[in-house]
Structure formats: C-alpha cells, structure tokens
Amino acid sequence: MPPYACLWLPDLPLAAALRAEPELAGRPLVVCDRDAVVSGWLRGLSLAQARVVAPDLVVRPVALEAMRSAQEALVDVALSVSPAVEDAGGGLAWLDLAGTESLFPSPAGVATALGARLEAVGLEAARVGIGPTRTVALLAARRGEPEIVAACEAQRFLDPLPLDLLEPPEELAERLTRFGIHTLGALRRLPRRELGARLGEEGVALARRACGEDLSPFRPAPPRARYEEGCACDWSVSNLETLAFLVRGPLERLARRLELAGLGARELYLELELESGKRFARAVGCRASTVEVPVLVALVRLALEQDPPGEPVVRLRVVATPGGVEPSQLDLFLPRRPAPAELAVTLARLAALVGDGRVGAPRECDSHRPEASAVADFDADGASGPWSAGRAAPPAPALALRALRPPRAIRVFGQDGSPERVESHERGGPLGHVTQCAGPWRLYGEWWGEAPFARDYFDLELEDGGVWRIYHDLDVGGWWADGTYD
Amino acid sequence: MHARLERIRKIALDAGLSGQLRIGAFPFSDEETQPRPCERPRVGEGVAPLDALLGLGRTPARGQLIEVFGRTGSGRTALCYRLALGATLRGGWVGWVDLPDALDPRSLRRAGVRLESLLWVRPREVPAALRAAELLLRAGFPFVALDLDGASPRALERIGAAAWARLGRAVRESRATAVLLGSERRAGSLAALALYTERRRARFAAGLFEGLEARASRASRPRSAPAPSSCEFSLRFSPR
C-alpha cells in the first residue's frame, strides 16, 4: 500500500461556512471579509458585482472559529484511520498509512472510509489522495482523478500535471511560463544546476516537488485533549429557547467528531460572548461520557436555565473534554434502570427543578448527632451494588423515624425534668399531654470539634397517639423536637 | 420497681453514662417473666402476612400505583421502607421524592435498604414533587416513592386532577411501581392498591420505648393475586 494519504479541503473558508450551515449547500454562497471577496462561487468579483450577477447570493463573513473547527474535524477524520497524522493547516492533513493494512487491506478501502467519514463530519467538499509520498498524495487529491497513485505509476501520473497544482509563488510561476514550462514533467526534465542558477533555491525546491519528493519530514500531530466547536449568531440572542437551538449545531458537530474517535463528552465548557463584549463561561458536567446530542443539548439547556447569561449573546463556543464511552451491559435478572446518559439528564433536570444539593444518595455521617445526615452524589456504579435477589431474606420490619428538619422549638412542662405536656407553635410540631415517656438518654460529644453538643433525649407518646423524639439542649437550655416515629 | 429504676437511671445520668446505656427493667419475678401481650402470637400478625399484603417476595406488578396513607405514628413510613427494601433486594434502584424532607438515612439502613441504591430528591413544593416523581418514572427507575405528608391541603387541591392523571399515566407507561405516602387518600381510583395504616399502641415497657404496634388494611379492591385484606404488625425500635 502507498504509505501516505492526503485530505485536502479546496476552499477552507467556504467549506467551514457550509459545515456550520449545511442548509446553504447548493445556493450561491460567498464568504468574504468586509468588502473583499475572499472565496466562493464568484471568485474575484467585488460583493456589489457578485450581487448583480446573482441576486440570491448568500454572503457570510469569514469565521476563524469555524475554519479552525473544520481543520480540526479534518484531522479527526484522519486520526480515525491512522494514529500518525500531520496537521498541515489551511485545509490540509496527511496520514501515514503504514500499519493500517490489517484494518484496510486496499488503498481503495482507505479512500472509501475517509470519504464516508468526511461526509459524516460535514466536510463533503474535502478530497482524498493516496500516493507514495505526501507530495504525490496531495497532487492526487488536487487532481482528483485518479485518487490513488501507486509508487510505480508516480512518474507517469506526475508528468502531465499542470504546474499550477503545486501552487508555486506567483513570480516563479510567471518566469516558468515565460520559459515555456507548463507541466511538472517539463520542470522535472530541466537540469537542476542550471535551474538553480536561474531560479534560485525556490526553483530547485519546486523541481524536487515536481518529482514527487517531500521537502520536510513528517511531523505527527499530538493526540487531541479537547474538542472545540462554535458559531456566531446572526443577531443578538437573548432568548433561552433560541440559544438552546443555536447550541445544537456545534454540539452535533462535536458529537460526530467524538464518535469518530470512539469517545464521548465527559465535560462540556460553554463560553458565550455577550453583546457588551464580556464573556460568560459555564462548565457542564456529564455523569457519563456520551455522544447523544439530545442529552448534551438538555444538559446545556438546564445549565443555562439555572444560571442564565443575563445579556444577549452574539457568539458561542463549546469545548468538550473527551472520555471513554463505557457500554452499559443490561442484566437479564435485574430490574431495568436508566441508561448512564439518561441518568445524567435526569439528575440534571432534578437539580434544576429542586436545586443543587437536594438530589443525591442519602448518606449517614460519621457523627454522634442522631440527626446527622448528608447527600452524596448518586453514583450509578455504587448504586448497582451486589445483586441479592433470592438469596438474602429481608430483615424484620423496623420502626422508622420521620426527621423534622430543622428541629422544631417546643415548650415542655413537667416536674423533676420529666415532661408532662409539650407545646409547639410551629407547624408540624408536637402538641399535647404526655401519656408515656422514656428517657432521658444523655448524648454528648464532638467536644473535640468546634460544635460540641450535650443533650438529654426523650421518647414521648402524646395523647393524640403520636410518638415523638425530643431533646433538651443542655448548652443552650431549650427544648426541641427532631423527629416522630412512624 | 419503677422507683428503683428511676434511682439507677439518675445515677447513670449523673455519671454521664446514659449515652452508652439504656436502662430498663429486668424481669425480677415470675409474673414479669410471662410473655407480654404484644409478644403473644396472633392470627394475621408478623412479617409473613405483612409481606403478603405488600406483595413482597412476589414478582412485582408492573405499572401500578400503591397508596399508603394514615396518621403519623401508624407505621406507614416503615411500610414504605419495607416496599423500598423489596425493590433494592431485587437489585433495583429506588427514587424517593421527599416533600417534607423527613427521610432518615439511619432508619432506612435499619430497614435494610441499600442507601447507595436510593436517589433522594427533596423538592420544596407539591408541583415540583409530582414533576420529580414523573421524571424518575420516565427515566426508568423501577420503584419511586412520593412522600407528600405534611403538604398543605390547599397546595394539594391546587394541583388538580390532571396532575394525578399524568402521574398515573407515567406509572403505567414506565411499568414501574410507585408508592404515594400521605395522611389522606389522594390518588383515588388511580391507585391499584391503597393501604390504610392505623396505630394500635405504642409499646413502652419499664421506661423503654420498644416500638409500635399497628394495623394495615386494604382500602381498595384487590386487582391482582389474592392477598389478606388486613394484618397487624409490630415495628421494633432499634437505637443503633
């Protein structure tokens, strides 16, 4: 197999604009910076001239973020085929195909896979070339036909190609044209010494490239630590619904890129540029790595609902920290349970509904205070636990305490420290004569910490039948009810 | 006897030992060694009839709403913990929507429920509680408890019948088991099983609170397998 493949985006600004807005495909589109036409359907015309020719022309400004994302997506496609990829920038990436034979037995298989994956990430305009050197692969991509050049056919492929395919500097191209050199073959046949004497180092380098030589070593790109996508709003967005709709596009593109790498988004970082020029950033955690776009949109939306930006938004950027996607294995013998991604959304929705810190798994605290409890994060792995159905016999029914949070202040009447009547003016507190009483049970502790306590606890049955747990705070001197038995 | 007990308790209290000791009566006479009335076996009393009434140990009926209602101190919370225990013993997750913020992790642990398998949600308002229960059901939790005890009647009336119907539909569609806990019956005919709990007596013996005796009765026509219509059960107090 030829050792190199090349991915080439012919017009990066245009491809980036089409990737961000796929619905523009097929319409006359111009991507320009201010008044100067940079690229597009009507290359070389001013914007006014272009509008005369095509009244339904769509004009988009050059978006550097979109171009960067498109370039990263190109590299991601390359990385999905080979781990050795050179990011040349400007809509160009090379792959070292050495060692991929077990995955792709033929170069045609590589080209097909790359084409399909480019389409999946919205880069249909990108071209694929495969050749024995990076230069040949690039020329194959630019030429388009054939896209695969074997080492033995390289010379025959290169010779008839026009010189423009190598994109020589304008001055050098003019001089070569004056010499009557129009093809790579003609340039290759020129003697190197004389060529160097007349055209200098640049001319020799061009001649070497015309022979298919690579002028620089292969520089592999480092592994990607984060994935980034963004978009600019056509107008200031102050509505959360519209913002959630806008964020879907970047999240979809992110999800496709992550899917290519077999990864999911573990954490999202949302950065919004506000109308006043300020930046609003929000981290959105996912309980499990996921590439499901509805889940990611829901998480971002809930995060924005909880903490809205407060000003109209003009630009947004989403950065995903990747994580491995762990497939969840269903169990035939266990009750069904939410999938990890669904659990993440449910927890986020519940947190948005009832507030942070009010959703989680109950936890006993390492404390001597009877009322001490806490809420821990609900961990799907910990929640699954060992399966004991059919093996463990249920214990005998135990009395439950219904906690009163916070404890209700009460007034206690009695003799010799024994309660005879309890009164509470707070809702849900005890009220009435005591019919039976147990206690006191003195509890004191945490004298080694900052909040020591000393209490006498009583269990009381009141005339209405309720059984309450009350205590006398020996430090403060008041009486409190902190639970009822049920 | 009680005077002697009080003296011992006072000594322990003065010595600061009552945190470690719970002092009660030891049977000194033949009369006191006789089994107390609460310990005598009765028909329809004990763990097995209670579990039969709750449907514990059977394959759980899918998509049904169980309503447990009664006054405070009638053992309804303990029954709900028992139902949650059944779900966790089968390896399922439990969603617990706790409007009054009354869930006690120690009591749950004593009831045998795996705390790690329980998702505790503490809404502040009734509509949020219903919405949270619906979210848990739609997410795929096989058992969801909704504790609405202490909610003001006005707030409960304000949510209207449509909210209950929506909850009932969520239970049916998710094929989960939902338990509604409160002081009055709210779900009406939406509940496949309605259990009314009433307190029989609180057991205080020799200065110790030993537990509650209660009765659970079926308040609705059974739709599934035949089960006892009522049973008495005792809930034992455990300080640890």
Q: What are the helix (H) ranges across A57-179?
A: 64-79, 107-120, 134-143, 154-158, 170-178
B41 falls in which pLDDT band (50, 70, 90)? very low
Query: B89-148 pLDDT, tens per residue?
Result: 888 899 999 999 999 999 999 888 989 999 999 999 999 999 999 999 999 999 999 999
With an 8 Å Cβ cutoff, are B93 and A337 in contact? Answer: yes
B74 interfaces chain A, CB cutoff of 8 Å = yes
Contact across the interface for A349 and B105, Cβ inside 8 Å: no
Which of A365, A399, A435, A446 would best serve as a mutation to test chain B binding (most B beta carbons within 10 A)? A399
SS3 A106: coil
Q: A-chain residues within 8 Å CB-CB of B81?
A: 398, 400
- Report CB contact under 8 Å: A397, B238: no
* B-chain residues near A472 (CB < 8 A): none
Query: Which of A320-329, B5-14, B24-33 is least confident?
Result: B24-33
Smallest CA–CA distance from A383 into chain B, residue: B117
B111-120 residue pLDDT tens = 889 899 999 9
Residue B46: pLDDT over 50: no
8 Å CB contact of B105 and A364: yes
Question: Closest partner residue to A362 among B93, B120, B202, by Cβ?
Answer: B120
Angle between the A64-79 and A240-260 helix axes, to the nearest 10 degrees?
30
Tell me the shortest Cα–Cα distance from A374 to chain B, in angstroms. 9
Q: pLDDT digits over A215-230, tens only?
A: 999 999 988 889 999 8
Work out the average pLDDT over B44-51. Answer: 58
Largest CA distance in chain A: 120
Half-sphere exposure of B35 (CA within 13 A, CB side): 5
Q: Is A399 in contact with B120 (Cβ distance < 8 A)?
A: no
Give the distance from residue A318's alpha carbon to the nearest chain B alpha carbon, in angstroms: 26
Tokens at residue A395, please? 């214990």
Residue A372, min C-alpha distance to chain B (Å)? 9
Question: Is residue A330 predicted with pLDDT exceeding 70?
Answer: no
pLDDT at B29 over 50: no
Contact flag B91-A384 (C-beta cutoff 8 Å): yes
Closest CB from A354, A373, A385 relative to B121: A354
In this complex, do B235 and A398 lie within 8 Å of one another by their Cβ atoms? yes
- Quote the CA–CA distance of A270 and A290 in Å, as a whole number: 16
For residue A201, the surrounding DSSP H or E stretch is: helix A192-210
Residues in B closer than 8 angstroms to A381, CB to CB, are none
B200 part of contact set with chain A, CB < 8 Å? no
Residue at A163: amino acid letter: L
- Residue numbers in B near A457 (CB within 8 A): none
Contact criterion met (CB < 8 Å) for A361 and B128 = no
Rounded Cα gap, residues B158 and A150, in angstroms: 78
The answer to whether A465 contacts B71, with C-beta atoms less than 8 Å apart, is: yes
Would you say A85 and A93 are in contact if contact means Cβ atoms under 8 Å apart? yes
Residue of B nearest to A460 (CA): B209
Encoded tokens for A176: 């070569």
Q: What pLDDT, on a 0 to 100 scale, did the predictor assign at position A36?
A: 55
pLDDT at residue A26 tops 90: no
Please report the sign of the dihedral spanned by the C-alpha atoms of residue A84, residue A88, residue A90, residue A92.
Answer: negative
From the list A338, A355, A396, the residue facing B47 with the nearest CB is A396
Q: Would the pLDDT of B28 be above 50? A: no
The size of the A-B interface in CB pairs under 8 A is 226
Contact B135 A333 (CB under 8 A): no
pLDDT digits (tens, 9 = 90+) for A49-88: 878 888 888 888 888 888 999 999 999 999 999 999 999 9
The model's pLDDT over B192-206, given as tens digits with 9 standing for 90+, comes to 888 899 998 898 888
SS3 B120: strand
CA atoms within 13 A on the CB side of A252: 14
What are the chain A neighbours of B202 within 8 Å (beta carbons)? 436, 461, 465, 467, 485
Q: In what helix (H) or strand (E) does residue B35 lie, and over which residues does it extend?
A: none
The residues, ordered by sequence, that sit 6+ positions from A295 with a Cβ below 8 Å of its Cβ are: A286, A341, A342, A344, A345
One-letter amino acid of A375 = V
Strand A453-462 with A467-473, pairing: antiparallel
Chain A hits for B150, CB-CB cut-off 8 Å, are: 428
Does the beta carbon of B27 lie under 8 angstroms from any beta carbon of chain A?
A: no
Which of these, A129, A144, A16, lies nearest to A71 by C-alpha position? Answer: A16
Q: Residue B120: which of A361, A466, A486 has the nearest Cβ? A: A361
Residue range A380-399, pLDDT digits in tens: 776 666 555 445 566 788 89
Question: Please, which residues 211-230 of chain B have a Cβ atom closer than 8 Å to chain A?
Answer: 211-212
* Nearest Cα residue in chain A from B47: A396
Give the chain A residue nearest B17 (alpha carbons). A442
What pLDDT score was predicted for residue A76? 94
Per-residue three-class SS string for A304-373: HHHCCCCCCEEEEEEEEEEEECCCCCCCCCCCCCCCHHHHHHHHHHHHHHHCCCCEEEEEECCCCCCCCE
Which residue among B75, B150, B202 sits closest to A436, beta carbon to beta carbon? B202
Averaged pLDDT, B228-233 = 80
Give the other-Cβ count within 10 Å of B160's Cβ.
Answer: 11
Question: What is the distance, to the nearest Å, from the Cα of residue A321 to the centroid of all Cα atoms in its chain?
Answer: 6
Smallest Cα distance from B8 to chain A, Å: 12
Q: Say what percent of chain A tops pLDDT 70.
A: 93
CB pair distance less than 8 Å for A467 and B91: no
Give the closest residue to A440 by CA, choosing from A423, A458, A413. Answer: A458
Cα A404 from Cα B185, distance rounded (Å)? 23
Between B90, B104, B128, which is nearest A483 by CB? B104
Residue A41 has pLDDT above 60, yes or no: no
Interchain CB distance below 8 Å, B100 and A335: no
CB proximity B135 to A under 8 Å? yes
Burial of A447: CB neighbours in 10 Å, binned 0-12, 13-18, 19+: exposed
Torsion of CA B180, B186, B187, B193, to 10 degrees: 60
| Contacting B residues, span 42-61, partner chain A, CB-CB under 8 Å | 47, 50-51, 56-57
Q: How far apart are CA A424 and CA B85, in angstroms?
A: 34
Residue A34: pLDDT band with limits 50, 70, 90: low
Amino acid at A400: A
pLDDT value of position A30: 83
Task: Mark yes or no for CB contact A436/B121 under 8 Å.
Answer: no
For residue A252, give the 3-state DSSP assignment: helix
Q: In whole angstroms, what is the distance from residue A415 CA to residue A299 CA?
A: 59
Query: What's residue A386's pLDDT?
Result: 56
Task: List, edge to edge, every strand of the sheet that includes A263-274.
Answer: A227-237, A313-324, A263-274, A279-290
Q: Does B114 touch chain A (CB under 8 A)?
A: yes
Contact A403 B135 (CB under 8 A): no
Among A184-193, A260-269, A389-398, B29-38, which stretch is predicted with the lowest mean pLDDT?
A: B29-38
Interchain pair B19, A443: CB under 8 A: yes
pLDDT at position A250, please?
Answer: 93
The pLDDT value given to residue B37 = 41
Rounded mean pLDDT of chain B? 79
Contact call for B128 and A437, based on CB within 8 A = no
- Inter-residue contact A52 to A45 (CB < 8 Å): no
Burial class from Cβ neighbours inside 10 Å (0-12, 13-18, 19+) for residue A134 reads buried
Which chain B residues are within 8 Å of A347, Cβ to Cβ?
119
Q: Provide the 3-class DSSP secondary structure of residue A247.
A: helix
Q: CA A481, CA B96: separation in Å to the nearest integer?
A: 24
pLDDT recorded at residue A425: 79
Lowest mean pLDDT among A160-164, A364-368, B77-81: A364-368
Order of strands, sheet of B208-218, starting from the edge strand that comes earlier in the sequence: A373-376, A359-364, B118-121, B94-98, B143-147, B177-182, B64-70, B193-205, B208-218, B230-236
Tokens 């550097």 appear where? A64
For residue A448, the model assigns a pLDDT of: 87
Give the minimum alpha-carbon distance from A247 to chain B in angstroms, rounded to a whole number. 24
Residue type, A263: L
Residue B35: what pLDDT? 39
The ipTM estimated for the assembled molecules is 0.79
